[in-house]
Structure 1
Amino acid sequence: MTDPLPSKKKRDQPKQALAAQAGKAHKEGRQHAAGSSGVFKLLSAFVLLAAVVVAYRHDPTLFTDFLDSWIGFSEHWEGSQPATSTNNPVHLSADIPKRNAVVAAFRHSWLAYEKDAMGDDEYHPISHKGSNLTSAGGIGYTVVDSIDTMLLMGLEAEYARARSWIADKLSFERDGNFNTFETTIRVLGGLLSAYHLSSGDPVYLDKATELADRILPVFETPSGLPHPMINLAKGVGVANADFTGLVSTAEVATLQLEFRYLSHLTGNDDYWRRVENAMRIIKSARLPHGLASIFMSVDEGQYVTSAIRLGSRGDSYYEYLLKQYLQTNGSEPVYSDMYEDAMTAIHNHLVQKSTKSGMTYTAELIPEKDASGEVSWRLTPKQDHLVCFLAGSLMLGATKTGALAQSVSVPPRDKELTPSGRRDWKTGVELLRTCMSTHDTATGLSPEIVHFRIPSDGMDHNSMAPADWYIKGARQVFPFSMSFGYELEHFACFASPGEFPPYDARYMLRYVYVFTYVQYTDTNGPSPETVESLFLSYRLTGDQLYRDHGWNIFQSIEKHCRLSSGGYATIVNVDEVPVRHEDKMETFWMSETLKYLYLLFDDSNTLPLDKYVFNTEAHPLPIFQPSVRTGFS
């Protein structure tokens, strides 16, 4: 019996025979023509090369512009579509539905606070209560910190009630100790921003001037560096009981934008001189490597042996070097010099690559003394999420201190930047990529602290070890044998069921206080990090991918931090679902996170980067031409 249809092999045999005959004929033809065509191709290649050389000598930009457009200098991630204009400013239109969603989140937060805790410094959304920072009462941290966000969002009714509280009920006559840095960046900065955005409402300037006058006594120290605390009622600077004789480098170097702008508004040079003197002292104390230790002696004005890091107690020192230069329209080169010196030191000593994927991150230098008292420095692959502010800051700095012209393209082209500008842009883009990678958790939110893999960590023998980074103590599982002592101490996955995980795993609505090495709650305030960097990166590139990442973060917050009863809460473990909440809604949630998300999705004509600089609490202050000359160089 024969098959009704031949097999595929039999059906293909005639075709294969014809194909073989055709291939043989084609091969013979190619061999016959090879000699003449080969010579022709070689001559053509020489002619083309000569033309390229002549064109390059005539106008090198023809070649560099082609490379810029082909490979993209800004090294955006795969699939991104940056703006293609070389003319500034580039207009970026608003994404209205997403912007409106951010406004709705702000109202959900504010209305809960206003109902339960109006006027209190902090809000606890689970218990529906407020609290103050001192037993003598509060100074309206949440109200003042949030009011410029209301102005930007056009929330007229909410703004009117908040302004009324500031005008009628805000009092600084509090016999309690307030953190100098936090009070300056949140309350003084908030009042000054509200003054500007309200077109000069005098109630804000009056309150700002009163507060600044009450803070000024902190500068009455042997060195001129400010005390970390201030008793507002007594007008007396107060030392930190935990660190006698020491001040945080970030805290003393992150008062300048606010006091200098107030000096510009009032004509009182004393505000300017006090904070400028702190910068003079810091510059004089420069360490040989150009980095800043996180503590200084308030009496001697010198660095003391302490950790070197870009996270807590170090972060905003670097941030304000650039922003002081920008605030006075580039009229003070001393700050650009200090900024460029610091960025070079960061690249020389702290910028690292992960072992598996080559992810860019910044390490920390930890001092260690041996038995003879000699100090050595241990490079530690640990990065606070606060460090993510540096990504956008580097990209912004590259277009300002690292630009060869007054303005650059969007995104910048290679030829428009100095070698250090190109270096900083590249690192900024890569660091932001790393920061977004740390959102690869069960909640889609990043932890406060991550540790990166290094060859000597002893984890390679375990198949479940992370490739690049991990969170210490985030998971309630035991993925490998208890005999591995190193992993028990250092690996990500250990927390007993029911216990709160270490601080590293928390998500505090994207702006944080972090633990220091001696395990106390650090009072160094929040620095702009991932959301601010996404905002800056989008404004500098027009790349939709940055908006997409910002929207993903917002959706994760909505899913895991929003409380149906009102407000948003910290979650204690980003790698655990369902989440557990902590009963706290930080003031910077409405001041920073939601403001930067709003600006990310808003029209680029709102607060353009060539006219505004943001303080470290996201309060926008206008760029101005100073009448005071810098007192040091």
Structure 2
Amino acid sequence: MAAEGGVRKRNNAEKAKAKAVAADQAGEKQPAAAENGATKEGTKAARGSGGGTGAGSSSFGTLLVVVLLSVVCVFVYRDPSLVLDPLSEFLGLEETGQVPETRSFTADVEKRDAVVSAFKHAWLAYERDAMGDDEYHPISHKGTNLTEAGGIGYTVIDSIDTMLLMGLHDEYARARKWVETKMSFERDANFNTFETTIRVLGGLLSAYHFSQDELFLEKAKELADRIMPAFDTPSGLPTSMINLGQRKGAMSEDNQNLVSTAEVSTLQLELRYLSYLTDNDVYWDAAERVMRVIKGASLTTGLASIFMNPEDGRFVLSAIRLGSRGDSYYEYLLKQYLQTNLSELVYQEMYHGAIDGIHAHLIKKSEFARLTYTSELVPERGPSGQISWRLMPKQDHLVCFLGGSLMLGAVTSGAHALPVSVPPRPGQLTATGKRDWNTGVELVETCMRTHDTATGLSPEIVHFRIPSDNLDLAVGNMPQDWYIKGAKPGAPPVYDARYILRPETVESLFLAYRLTGDEKYRRYGWDIFSAIEKHCKIETGGYASVLNVDAVPVEHEDKMETFLMSETLKYLYLLFEDDSVVPLNKYVFNTEAHPLPIFNPTRHANF
């Protein structure tokens, strides 16, 4: 993967060029059964009355050839690599140094501009009613802050790089003015370390990259310096909370003084890039120490429990899942390898181990349509104290990042050589790469199937059917393969039934489209965007969450999450934009969709 040309130390002479650019733009499938046409009667007729080599014998031979060819066609249809890979090897295509097939994707201007209009509908309402507040409530037309001591502008910072990418110059100028004159981190209150890093620090760094405005870098350094005390624990794992005013870490009582695996391992892209920009190893060292501790404590399966003890750096007996508290750990293993221009092999090794574990233990197929989905492992203690693990067929909407992530990993970490074609040819991927590509494609399709609701929006959590469910498919017209646990017609909506403007499915659609050029991913994205417009849009401004995706007309929750403008609308915009905007061979996205450039590091991990 090529290093990002726009990355530079702060004295780089190309800074003026970057400013100019910124001014213009931010289990297994069930095979089809082969019907054997040779019934007993047909076989008897084919043999003829006289045996030997007559016409009956010839007919039987023809029929047998047809059946065998049909079987071969079924298997080749399911896996074209059965033919393409040996053919490529026979013809020597992989050793010829041939130029991979490249494609350029032009913008779908009408749909792209519709997404821009949606962003403006959200931003202008927030700016009108709640400028500077952390969160926005579009129905009551007010904002709120995360602490009683005041906010730090979560929504503002989360939105700036989207404005830069969309070319919204006036909106950007007003947001920048607020950062310059009103933004303050001098808040004597506890903020979530993880959320503050991915949303605010990541947003400031991305805004700096696209604008080359020193204001954002100075604010990023100040915020990071206030966050650093969170890493002052015996293990080096950061505390869940950080008092920005006192510059002091604090534990979360909700987690019994434990830290979540995803939260401590999803700070690395931001801190590493800041270290690169400032030549300050303090940020890099803190981020890397966390990964060293995790690697030392890792389970033999490659999977990670969702909680760790910051005192000794060990995993705590807890659930293993790809949803909340686990998701972005797996995401950042790949992205740390990509961010450092494929030079940090320890992260590639950890990534492959984790994905092997996912395939071995968590990937399953649904009963009827054979949809690929992910499960969770829940520890249970028996009467005599022994531990067993129960497989739960539960998949958070958060897990829908994984499909696109696996596809991206397949064409980078799972490729024989780079770059690969778009879409990749089977011979260009390793066996592991092909496995991950196929699983990724299937998971994207599964996530789209969870949008088969009354609103066309996906619920927060779905469960997949297993024989022990004993559920009546006729109740509530539930889908054949999955259901919303506890949902009943006419009853109050359960938590799992809500849609809170989450971006994970459209994130995977964006990646899948960039890696394949298949127009169906744009169609899928437009369907989701249309559903958001129809059911989440508040006419007076902004967008609100939906309490029950299976009830129309919808009932809203008065809240517009910051990731709507940071992630959901940004990924939709990029899905319909020209692929020269934020190309995947030059950028990685942090888990809040803030693009950060790929660079060549001057140091490497020592573990």
Asked whether the two chains share a fold, i.e. TM above 0.5, the reply is: yes
- Given that 1:362 and 1:381 are in contact with CA atoms closer than 8 Å, whether structure 2 keeps it comes out as yes
Q: CA–CA distance in 1 between the matches of 2:155 and 2:87?
A: 49
Deviations 1:571-591 (A, max 9, x none): 100000000000000000000
Tell me if 1:256 matches 2:268.
yes
Tell me if 1:440 matches 2:490.
no
Shift of 1:351: 0.2
- Aligned counterparts, 1:56-455, within 5 A: 64=84, 87=100, 89-198=102-211, 200-455=212-467
Identity level (%): 68
Q: CA–CA distance in 2 between the matches of 1:88 and 1:149?
A: 30
Instruction: Give the match for residue 27 of structure 2.
Output: none
- Given that 2:404 and 2:444 are in contact with CA atoms closer than 8 Å, whether structure 1 keeps it comes out as yes
CA separation of 1:430/1:227 partners in 2, compared to 1, >3 Å: closer, same or farther?
same
Tell me, what secondary structure is at the counterpart of 2:368? coil
- Aligned counterparts, 1:456-495, within 5 A: 456-459=468-471, 466-477=479-490, 495=491
Tell me if 1:577 matches 2:552.
yes
Shift of 1:407: 1.1
Bigger shift: residues 365-374 or 601-610 = 365-374
Tell me, what secondary structure is at the counterpart of 1:123? strand
- Given that 2:331 and 2:405 are in contact with CA atoms closer than 8 Å, whether structure 1 keeps it comes out as yes
Instruction: Give the match for residue 539 of structure 2.
Output: 564
> Which consecutive unaligned segments of at least 5 residues does structure 1 have?
1-33, 50-59, 69-84, 478-494, 512-528
Shift of 1:461: 8.5
Q: CA–CA distance in 2 between the matches of 1:66 and 1:586?
A: 50
Partner AA of 1:64 in structure 2? L
- Given that 2:122 and 2:541 are in contact with CA atoms closer than 8 Å, whether structure 1 keeps it comes out as yes
Shift of 1:124: 0.4
- Given that 2:473 and 2:480 are in contact with CA atoms closer than 8 Å, whether structure 1 keeps it comes out as no
CA separation of 1:86/1:583 partners in 2, compared to 1, >3 Å: closer, same or farther?
farther
- Given that 1:475 and 1:575 are in contact with CA atoms closer than 8 Å, whether structure 2 keeps it comes out as no
CA separation of 1:192/1:374 partners in 2, compared to 1, >3 Å: closer, same or farther?
same
Instruction: Give the match for residue 500 of structure 2.
Output: 508
Partner AA of 1:540 in structure 2? L
Q: CA–CA distance in 2 between the matches of 1:426 and 1:368?
A: 32
Tell me, what secondary structure is at the counterpart of 1:170? coil
Q: CA–CA distance in 2 between the matches of 1:458 and 1:447?
A: 22
Shift of 1:65: 7.2
Deviations 1:237-273 (A, max 9, x none): 0011122331000000000000000000000011001
Tell me if 1:548 matches 2:485.
no
Shift of 1:195: 0.3
Taking structure 2 as the reference length, what is the TM-score of the superposition?
0.84
Q: CA–CA distance in 1 between the matches of 2:440 and 2:385?
A: 38
Partner AA of 2:132 in structure 1? G
Q: CA–CA distance in 2 between the matches of 1:459 and 1:184?
A: 43
Tell me if 1:591 matches 2:546.
no
Deviations 1:289-318 (A, max 9, x none): 221000000101000000100000000000
- Given that 1:245 and 1:299 are in contact with CA atoms closer than 8 Å, whether structure 2 keeps it comes out as no
Q: CA–CA distance in 2 between the matches of 1:156 and 1:580?
A: 35
Shift of 1:503: 1.1
Tell me, what secondary structure is at the counterpart of 2:329? helix
Partner AA of 2:502 in structure 1? R
Instruction: Give the match for residue 20 of structure 2.
Output: none
CA separation of 1:565/1:462 partners in 2, compared to 1, >3 Å: closer, same or farther?
closer
- Given that 1:474 and 1:575 are in contact with CA atoms closer than 8 Å, whether structure 2 keeps it comes out as no
Instruction: Give the match for residue 21 of structure 1.
Output: none
Q: CA–CA distance in 1 between the matches of 2:102 and 2:192?
A: 39
Shift of 1:66: 10
Shift of 1:197: 0.5
Q: CA–CA distance in 2 between the matches of 1:118 and 1:631?
A: 45
Tell me, what secondary structure is at the counterpart of 1:459? coil
- Given that 1:474 and 1:573 are in contact with CA atoms closer than 8 Å, whether structure 2 keeps it comes out as no
Tell me, what secondary structure is at the counterpart of 1:303? coil
- Given that 1:228 and 1:239 are in contact with CA atoms closer than 8 Å, whether structure 2 keeps it comes out as yes
Structure 2 counterpart of 1:604, from 579, 584, 587: 579
CA separation of 1:146/1:61 partners in 2, compared to 1, >3 Å: closer, same or farther?
closer
- Given that 1:355 and 1:454 are in contact with CA atoms closer than 8 Å, whether structure 2 keeps it comes out as yes
Aligned residues: 529
CA separation of 1:225/1:584 partners in 2, compared to 1, >3 Å: closer, same or farther?
same
Q: CA–CA distance in 1 between the matches of 2:501 and 2:86?
A: 43
Tell me, what secondary structure is at the counterpart of 1:197? helix
CA separation of 1:434/1:86 partners in 2, compared to 1, >3 Å: closer, same or farther?
farther
Q: CA–CA distance in 2 between the matches of 1:113 and 1:305?
A: 42
Instruction: Output the aligned Cα RMSD.
Output: 2.3
Instruction: Give the match for residue 530 of structure 1.
Output: 505
- Given that 1:403 and 1:421 are in contact with CA atoms closer than 8 Å, whether structure 2 keeps it comes out as yes
Deviations 1:518-573 (A, max 9, x none): xxxxxxxxxxx201100000000000000000000000000000011100000100
CA separation of 1:88/1:621 partners in 2, compared to 1, >3 Å: closer, same or farther?
farther
Shift of 1:466: 4.2
Tell me, what secondary structure is at the counterpart of 1:98? helix
- Given that 2:301 and 2:353 are in contact with CA atoms closer than 8 Å, whether structure 1 keeps it comes out as no
Instruction: Give the match for residue 489 of structure 1.
Output: none
Q: CA–CA distance in 1 between the matches of 2:100 and 2:542?
A: 42
* Greater Rg over alpha carbons, structure: 1
Partner AA of 2:499 in structure 1? Y
- Given that 1:368 and 1:375 are in contact with CA atoms closer than 8 Å, whether structure 2 keeps it comes out as yes
> Which consecutive unaligned segments of at least 5 residues does structure 2 have?
1-53, 70-79, 89-97
Q: CA–CA distance in 1 between the matches of 2:474 and 2:373?
A: 24
Shift of 1:38: 6.9
Q: CA–CA distance in 2 between the matches of 1:380 and 1:460?
A: 19
Shift of 1:460: 5.8
Shift of 1:474: 3.2
Tell me, what secondary structure is at the counterpart of 1:447? coil
Deviations 1:604-625 (A, max 9, x none): 0000000000000000000000
CA separation of 1:63/1:465 partners in 2, compared to 1, >3 Å: closer, same or farther?
closer
Q: CA–CA distance in 1 between the matches of 2:505 and 2:478?
A: 26
Shift of 1:97: 0.2
Tell me, what secondary structure is at the counterpart of 2:129? helix
- Given that 1:178 and 1:232 are in contact with CA atoms closer than 8 Å, whether structure 2 keeps it comes out as yes
CA separation of 1:435/1:62 partners in 2, compared to 1, >3 Å: closer, same or farther?
closer
Taking structure 1 as the reference length, what is the TM-score of the superposition?
0.81
CA separation of 1:87/1:117 partners in 2, compared to 1, >3 Å: closer, same or farther?
same
